[in-house]
Structure 1
Amino acid sequence: MPKSKRNKVVALTQVKKKDRKWKESLVESIRDAVDTYPSVFVFRCKNMRNETFKSLRDDVSNTSRFFVGGNKLMRAALLGKESEEGLKTFAEHIVNNRDGKDDDDDDGGGGGQKQQKETKKQQRGRQNEEFDLNTTTTGIVFTNLSKEDLMQAMEAKETKDFARVGQIATETIVCPEGPVKNCFDVPMSHTLEAMLRKHGLPTKLNKGVVECVNEKIICKRGVKLSSDQCALLRQFGYKLATFKLRLVAGWEKSTGETEVFMNEDDSEEILDYGTDEEEEDRFASDGLPKSMMLPEGML
């Protein structure tokens, strides 16, 4: 085909990389805040949403100051305050804000097939853990507020939002056969039928009503979401992501001691991803009656 001669809009903008001056200004700002505020906390933000986080910063702007940057850079800024030796223990929580587990406990003995299955299961859990780390933002906040007041301000901003690509589904959502309705039990508009079918939902129009031809599992609990699944969840109105901030550790200038907090997120329910043996047996019966299945020992 001949090349299109239409005028195309080309963006000439370029994002400037954060240079050394920006890093030096961040370090200076953090060190000045150490002298200004009586306490500092390390916080963890899961499912960061800029608008909600900006609203929180505006609400406590008179009493607190937030810093979100490179973890190692913020740690180095705190460790540079030689007069505050108590910050050394506190600064370690900026980088080591989650406990890690090493998977170097492989046994070199027999049972190669069993060992391979365990390795696959460990790898799957490690990938989900790595994604959880990627969707978690760590920062520090200098404040005049007490720990209770700061936690109350953070909890007030906890909101639900639509999940993004790559997030792990927190629940299983199924679209049953028949008229398609969203989470509020409202029928889908006929204008959305083409879009729903485009994203993998088996739909058709029946006298202006959007119907699902077969039962469709939109997402499964514990499985990463694709772009099509996120688009469907948005249309159905399911918000599976929760913007939340939790305090990890705190340091008081008056006492010079570091306090580590136990959050409810530290004991989150571990999702059951099943075993590889269950995956191998998923085709054992396939829902067939016994009369149509092969006798035992024929496989």
Structure 2
Amino acid sequence: MPRSKRDKKISLTKTSKKGVALKQRIIDDIRSCVEKFENIYVFTFTNIRNNTFKEIRDSWKPSRFFFGKNRVIGVGLGRTVEEEVEDGLHKVSKCLKGERALLFTDCTKEEVLDWFKNHKYDEFARAGNIAPKSVVLEEGPLEQFSHAMEPYLRKLGLPTKLDKGVVTLIKSYEVCAEGCVLTSEQAKILELLDIRMATFQMCLKAHWSKKNGFEKL
């Protein structure tokens, strides 16, 4: 009886014992998912936030997502024809570059394509993002903030003071200009103001199935 591809041993060198255990667990999880699910999708993502992604993970159960540690995930799938645990999976490994991740699922291709096409999430921008619009605060009270926040707002750069216990801008202030690269202070001010300038979006790049093999999307 021929030996299963999934029985291949892997050498994890230059790694601490704790690191080896973690990497081996990821590899084992990947191989378990290969055996369990019919389809694997490779997708890119931008402006990811942990809370949003946790909600997505929960909504897709029992499907499984893997992101980060592309090299380790690639080892789990097999990076070459000789190493791959199912035919064609080395092609999936080659797609794992930069901010890319995997979805293991039994959902139909039509269901997956439709969901990825129609789901985007407004998120808070981070330092380094480009501001899509200008935001200017007018002089006057900022009643959404408690008096205890005033020193912190001033530290972020807002020209504030306490006026009878109310946080107040002493002059108009441009938080950001359209097209500017946001600083960490600007990003934090926008978050405190509940102004979301980024979009968390995922874009499908490739698909592998046990029935049809690998294809680019």
Q: Same fold (TM over 0.5)?
A: yes
Q: Distance in 2 between matches of 1:29 and 1:207?
A: 59
Cα distance change on mapping 1:222 and 1:146 into 2, 3 Å: farther
Structure 2 residue matching 1:145: 3-state secondary structure? coil
Q: Report the TM-score, using the length of structure 1 for normalisation.
A: 0.56
**Aligned residue in 1 for 2:104:** 142
Structure 2 residue matching 1:170: 3-state secondary structure? coil
Equivalent positions of 1:214-229 (< 5 A) are: 214-229=171-186
**Aligned residue in 1 for 2:92:** 90
**Aligned residue in 2 for 1:165:** 127
**Aligned residue in 2 for 1:81:** 84
Identity over aligned pairs, percent: 32
Q: Distance in 1 between matches of 2:193 and 2:68?
A: 35
Do 1:90 and 1:258's aligned partners in 2 also have CA atoms closer than 8 Å? no
Cα distance change on mapping 1:21 and 1:199 into 2, 3 Å: closer
Q: Distance in 2 between matches of 1:92 and 1:29?
A: 19
Where structure 2 has 5 or more consecutive residues not aligned to the other structure, the ranges are 1-15
**Aligned residue in 1 for 2:157:** 200
Give, in angstroms, the shift of residue 250 of structure 1: 1.1
**Aligned residue in 2 for 1:263:** none
Provide, for residues 60-99 of structure 1, a one-character-per-residue CA deviation record: whole Å limited to 9, x for no partner. 212x111223112212222222651x2233321112x6xx
Q: Distance in 2 between matches of 1:154 and 1:219?
A: 31
Provide, for residues 133-168 of structure 1, a one-character-per-residue CA deviation record: whole Å limited to 9, x for no partner. xxxx42111111123322444567633232333433
**Aligned residue in 2 for 1:48:** 48
Where structure 1 has 5 or more consecutive residues not aligned to the other structure, the ranges are 1-15, 98-136, 182-186, 261-299
Q: Report the TM-score, using the length of structure 2 for normalisation.
A: 0.73
**Aligned residue in 1 for 2:35:** 35
Equivalent positions of 1:166-181 (< 5 A) are: 166-176=128-138, 178-180=139-141
More strand by share: 2
